[in-house]
Structure 1
Amino acid sequence: MSAPVPRGDELVRVLATLSNPHRLRVVAALTRGGRNYVSRLARELEISRALLQVHLKKLEAAGLVSSRLELSKDGKAMKFYEVNAFAVELTPQNVATAVDTLSRDGDPPGTDRGGSEDSRRSGERNTKDGGAGGNGTADGDTEGQGAPS
């Protein structure tokens, strides 16, 4: 059974998160050794706790690891992390499927940008020819609009 095809933004988030070698090492260490707390994991990976915290937060935000605060026998708060089960099957077809669900320009997925197809194409042309504010004519001529010579 293959993994479900992730939505575009989810795929981007997971791939971007795993593109860092430190985060790959964190996932590997937690996979091999099981749940662990920050100080021990930092020693095992030979990186600072502060740097490890940064990477753990990014992994947690992407849903790849989870954390739980526990009290030790001597009353110290210890944050334990563990890997969440995940699978991403990266194939050209899955990438093409995921692309169809990507948000554009920071819009949340599913945002209707409104307007007809023709008006959207016109907006794209305006953006290319001088910005959405319409600073240029249809052929990109900006003469007489204060452009430096």
Structure 2
Amino acid sequence: MDKKSLAEMLNALGNEHSLKILATLAECECYVSELAKEVGISRPLLYLHLKKLENAGLVENEIRHFEEPPYTKKYYKAKNFELVLSLSRIKEIVKKE
């Protein structure tokens, strides 16, 4: 992990909405409208958090096609990860660059 990746991950995890989104997606895949209702936030705010979580490599999406409206839905799911962080690990990551 490099300094930029660590900062992106911590930034994405540094919000209660993002944590709730991630916890929800850890249980099941959801499409945007469903996820917004489940988490209790607006779709624009949800997209903001999902973008941060995607950039940090914590969630991924898949577009699925259907024969009836809405013809496409974007589903999100959590990616498995483990974050072990200590002061010495931060120092090690920062000194690499």
Same fold per superposition (TM over 0.5)? yes
Flag the structure with higher strand content: 2
Report the alpha carbon displacement of residue 37 of structure 1 after superposing the two structures with TM.
0.4
Flag the structure with higher helix content: 2
1:53 aligns with 2:53: no
Paired amino acid for 2:65: L
Give the one of 77, 80, 87 matched to 2:82. 87
Aligned to 1:69: 63
Aligned to 1:125: none
| Contact residue 66 and residue 81 of structure 1 kept, 8 A | yes
Which 4+ residue blocks in structure 1 deviate beyond 3 angstroms?
none
Q: 1 or 2 for the larger relative contact order (CA 8 Å, sep ≥6)?
A: 2
User: Kindly, what percent of the aligned residue pairs are identical?
Assistant: 35
Report the alpha carbon displacement of residue 79 of structure 1 after superposing the two structures with TM.
0.1
Flag the structure with larger Rg. Answer: 1
Unaligned 5+ segments in structure 1 are 1-5, 103-149
Aligned to 1:36: 30
TM-score normalized with structure 2 length: 0.90
TM-score normalized with structure 1 length: 0.60
Paired amino acid for 1:72: F
Paired amino acid for 1:16: N
Unaligned 5+ segments in structure 2 are none
- Secondary structure of the structure 2 residue equivalent to 1:74: coil
Paired positions, count: 96
Can you list the C-alpha shifts for 1:100-141, whole angstroms capped at 9, x where unaligned?
135xxxxxxxxxxxxxxxxxxxxxxxxxxxxxxxxxxxxxxx
